[in-house]
Amino acid sequence: MQVGLRQVFLRFAGCNLNCSFCDTPGMSEVPAECILEQTPGREDLVRVANPVTCERIVELIRGWTRNWPGLHHSISITGGEPLLHGRILEQWLPELRKLLPIYLETNGTLPKALAPLLPHLDYIGMDFKLPSATGCQPLWEEHRQFLELAAQKSVYVKLVAGATTTNEEVELSCRMIAEVDRKIPLILQPMTLPEGRLAISSRRALELQEVAGVLLDEVRVIPQTHKFLGVL
């Protein structure tokens, strides 16, 4: 939903799922080092030992907000699956939110970890993991519980659609969203294949949009724009 806006990305390692299309390989374990960008957008990267302290992150972002006021829309808390680090986020988010609004990007399967963080969040982007696209077991009940909580904030749902994604899966997802609030936006994201092309045609993407649009007020088709721009 924030396509075209600059964000500060704070990426956490580790995930409770193993989706076939995951675009962050190697995130299953916490690495010995992390990479920090010193100047926003300049790729002047430095490696520092993990764990990085909240103080260092706050100091870096404070410098960005001071020297480039208004450049960044929000801080994107992403992964991996950041809610695996709920206890850390409970400590960090109040300090980070003093600098910029907080945007959580999540696979939408850990409602118990979400609940205590809600007071510190401004935006939530959650996935509905379609079994046909992810290769994972169905997670409908987890998604339902998560969305009911996330709807207290500004939330949208993302579906990654692949060649085997069915109309029935999309319809089931949309009915579940509509039961919470049909005004919650849905993003249909065509899966990006390793060679860079999309797994479904534009015609198929529009067909799925039509299926979803019967049940929801706002349905967008948005590919992974960072892939086209060649950025992380």
Q: Is 146 annotated as a binding residue?
A: no
Residue closest to 161 by CA, chosen among 102, 204, 119: 204
**What are the structure tokens assigned to 83, written together?**
């809610």
Residue 106 domain-assigned (yes or no): yes
Residue 166 domain-assigned (yes or no): yes
Which residue range forms the structural domain that includes residue 218? 7-229
Residue 1 domain-assigned (yes or no): no
Q: Is 80 annotated as a binding residue?
A: yes
Q: Is 22 annotated as a binding residue?
A: yes
**164: helix, strand or coil:** coil
Q: Is the peptide bond before 51 cis (omega within 30 degrees of 0)?
A: yes
Q: Is 11 annotated as a binding residue?
A: yes
What is the C-alpha to C-alpha distance for residues 58 and 95, in angstroms, rounded to an integer?
Answer: 7
Q: Is 19 annotated as a binding residue?
A: yes
Query: Is residue 108 within 8 Å of 125, Cβ to Cβ?
Result: no
Q: How confident is the model at residue 231 (pLDDT cuts 50, 70, 90)?
A: low
Convert 156-193 to b/e letters by CB count within 10 Å (16 or more is b): bbbbbbbeebeeebbeebbebbbebeeebbbbbbbbbe
Provide Rg for the chain, Cα atoms: 18
Q: What is the pLDDT of residues 92-114, one digit of tens each?
A: 999 999 999 999 999 999 999 99
**CATH code for the domain of 14:** 3.20.20.70
Q: How many domains does the chain have?
A: 1
Residue 130 domain-assigned (yes or no): yes
Residue 182 domain-assigned (yes or no): yes
Average pLDDT of 40-50? 94
The pLDDT of residue 28 = 60
Q: What is the pLDDT of residues 172-221, one digit of tens each?
A: 999 999 999 999 999 999 998 888 889 899 999 999 999 999 999 999 99
